[in-house]
Amino acid sequence: MNYENMKSFLLFFLVLTSVVLTWNLWTYQPKYEFSEEKNVHEVSISDPKDVADLIKPVGVLFHFQKDHYGTGKDEHIDQLLAELNGWTFYDFSDPVVYSPTQIRKLSESGENIEIIFPDLVPFDVYKRVLRFESNNLPYGAFNRIVIRLDSEKQEDGSVYFISTKDGKVYESHVNHDQLVSLFNHLEKSKTKYDAYQAYNLPDGRIKFLPSEQIEVPRYKYYSDYIEPESFKNALFKDPDYVRRDSITDGAKYTDGTSLMTVDYLTNMFFYVNPSQTINTRIKSEDMNVLERSINFVNEHAGWTDNYRYLSMDPYDKNIKFLLFIKGYPVFSQEGMTKMELTWGKEEIYQYERPYFILDIPLPAPKVVTLPSGKEAMDELLSNPDIKVDLIQEFIIGYGLVKDPENPKLLTLEPSWYYLYAGSWLRLDTEEIKGE
């Protein structure tokens, strides 16, 4: 082979090698994939929770003719829900609009059970908790379940799902024998619940309140903290491009689009994504916002304590969850016991929540005696500034108090609370002042 032939062969070999390498480069498929999804799917802060753990009644009333009993304790409510989980609810009617008087008569007369939720619960969400026979559930929501015992009926029993906000009542049916068995059991064990009595408000409404003084433990906890970095990794699309800056008593994280502000005094953070702002002039009802919020927090397993569903605004696309202890809600003036989510056009718009947890309970909690419901309501109505028609709810709860000398030590102080014009306020009774 002469010199020219060798050059031609070498040139051909180099050209062929270049073609092969170029082809491999173009057709190479890497083993990893880039995702446009938020890293919220990859971060696990605590444990996910089921709908049954997050959407629970705040109270149950048992009406036995003229006798009334009630409870808000976890163990009692869980026992009742366990019984209902074995039922099948069928033959849902179209909604019928009742007046407040008709709803009260349906709920309180005769023998029935009234299950009270903190706010509206969409049927499509609660089908994960109760067994509904029909796949075509009503498009709507309820905040009361009323189970009525009608001794004259022998074929099936009636259960009513009620929205007291718009007066809509959905009637369903259950097996009559199961219903009778439940009422027989409750009749025999009713004394384990607190006795309640009707309180007639000046505006004509009736509230059922505990008729005796209530003993509630005062708990103390040492708190622990979850690193805000964990939430940064969950909420920002690319945490590596997030810049952290120190501010007075806190820090802020930003990627140029979204912002997360951390408050070291309240141990809370506030996340906002301004690109998700909704035109406030164009609002539509979104009943799926509750399920979306549950899924969102589950994606980063953000249920760091016993948080439960508190309220929903389907028009503003806003959901609130609140901390509960032993069945009682926990309130804080600074909002330290609340998780609040607001949805935007496609994604989360605002997310505000604490990053501390109730870690170690102190032993031997002291028991506090609270006044009866009548005494507490009398005290509230004695305030001349109170407008009766603005009183929405009246319950026992806890107030979260930080120890001024040791911020990690938290006290849960029991008291009466009332929902007044959309805000939860603490009632200062003489018994609490004496403590």
pLDDT in tens, 46-102: 889 999 999 999 999 999 878 899 999 999 999 999 999 999 999 999 999 999 999
- Mean per-residue pLDDT for 143-158? 81
Going by C-alpha positions, the residue among 63, 68, 376, 66 that lies closest to residue 213 is 376
Tell me: the pLDDT tens digits for 321-355?
Answer: 999 999 999 999 899 999 999 999 889 999 999 99
pLDDT at 138: 86
Give the rounded distance of the alpha carbon of 205 from its chain centre.
27
Residue 329, in any domain of the structure: no
Residue 174 lies in a domain: yes
Residues 116-136 have a mean pLDDT of 91
Whether residue 342 is contained in a domain is answered as: no
pLDDT at 432: 43
Q: Is residue 31 part of a domain?
A: no
pTM reported for the whole predicted model: 0.87
pLDDT above 60 (res 431): no
Contact between 237 and 407 (Cβ < 8 Å)? no
Quick check: 432 and 216 in contact, CB under 8 A? Answer: no
C-alpha to C-alpha distance for 44 and 230, rounded to whole angstroms: 8
Residue 399 and residue 301: Cα distance in Å, rounded?
26
CA 423 to chain centre: 16
Q: How many domains does the chain have?
A: 1
In the chain, the percentage of residues whose pLDDT exceeds 90 is 72
Spatial neighbors of 146 by CB under 8 A, at least 6 apart, are 106, 107, 112, 113, 114, 115, 159, 160, 162
Asked whether residue 207 is domain-assigned, the answer is yes
Cα 409 from Cα 267, distance rounded (Å): 13
64 is a domain residue: yes
Question: In the Cβ-directed half-sphere of 320, how many Cα atoms lie within 13 Å?
Answer: 20
Q: Give pLDDT, residue 33.
A: 37
> Rounded distance, CA 389 to CA 419, Å?
11
The angle at the Cα of 301, spanning 135 to 293, to the nearest 5 degrees, equals 50
Domain of 103, in residue numbers? 51-213
Per-residue pLDDT band for 152 (boundaries 50, 70, 90) equals low
Alpha-carbon distance 55 to 321, whole Å?
9
Measured from the Cβ of residue 307, the count of other Cβ atoms closer than 10 Å reads: 23
* 164 domain-assigned: yes
What average pLDDT does the chain have?
A: 87
Is 106 among the domain residues?
Answer: yes
The pLDDT of residue 35 is above 50: no
